[in-house]
Amino acid sequence: MFVNVFANNTTQPQGGGFDFMTLALFVIFGLLIFMMFRKQKKVRTQMEEKAQSMKERMHPGTQVMTQFGLFGTVASVDRDENKVVLELSPGNTATVHLQAVSEIIEPQDAVVPQETVVPNDASALTGDDQRSAFREDESADEALKRLNEEQNKDNK
């Protein structure tokens, strides 16, 4: 008797077809996969373009950096065997794979230092805007008296 009650209360899906939510789920999943593959293809083509332009710009005398942080000047390039001979320092060379070169260092314009102004007193060391504790219109005794009053005022 219990078995019949449970059998009668279960409902069977009608029509056996797809409902809207299932169809929307498959469409969204398909779009997600399509967008992921599209993004990967764009990144891959950009990387290939960068590698191709770097190979074209690499010739003896070019400053480069390898993937492991080694800086050097290209001494020779063997594109058939994918090898680059780098001169690390005068007389010191290293042979690396062409793909190990990650960046071409562009020569930068030399920075011309500006003329340094050196003050003729120690006022620049204090960082204050005042050039001197003395004022032009007061004597040394007046300046000492004023400075003592300011110090006493600060200590209170």
Query: Could you tell me the CATH number of the domain that includes residue 100?
Result: 2.30.30
CA distance 130 to 138: 15
Q: Judge whether 60 and 76 are in contact, CB under 8 Å.
A: yes
Tell me if 79 is assigned to some domain.
yes
Please choose, from the candidates 68, 66, 71, the residue with its C-alpha nearest in 3D space to the C-alpha of residue 83: 66
In the chain, where does DSSP find H-type helix? 2-9, 20-57, 123-126, 140-155
**CA 96, CA 70: separation in Å to the nearest integer?**
10
Residue 52 pLDDT level (bands cut at 50, 70, 90): confident
pTM for the full model? 0.43
Provide the residue range defining the domain that includes 67.
58-104
Answer whether residue 87 is part of any domain: yes
Q: 153 or 60: whose pLDDT is higher?
A: 60
* ∠ Cα 50 51 54 (to 5°): 85
Structure tokens of 153? 């005022």
Radius of gyration of the chain (CA): 39
How many domains would you assign to the chain?
1
- State how far the Cα of 151 lies from the Cα of 129, in Å rounded to an integer: 18
> Both tokens of residue 154?
């600060």
* 90 in a structural domain: yes
Q: Per the domain annotation, does 112 fall within a domain?
A: no
Give me the residues paired with residue 72 across strands.
64
Q: Where do we find the tokens 């764009």? A: 42
8 falls in which pLDDT band (50, 70, 90)? Answer: low
What pLDDT does 5 receive?
A: 52
pLDDT on residue 114: 72
Q: What is the mean pLDDT of residues 126-151?
A: 72
Interacting residues of 131 by C-beta distance below 8 A, sequence separation 6+: 121, 123
CA distance 156 to 141: 23
Average pLDDT over residues 79-103: 89
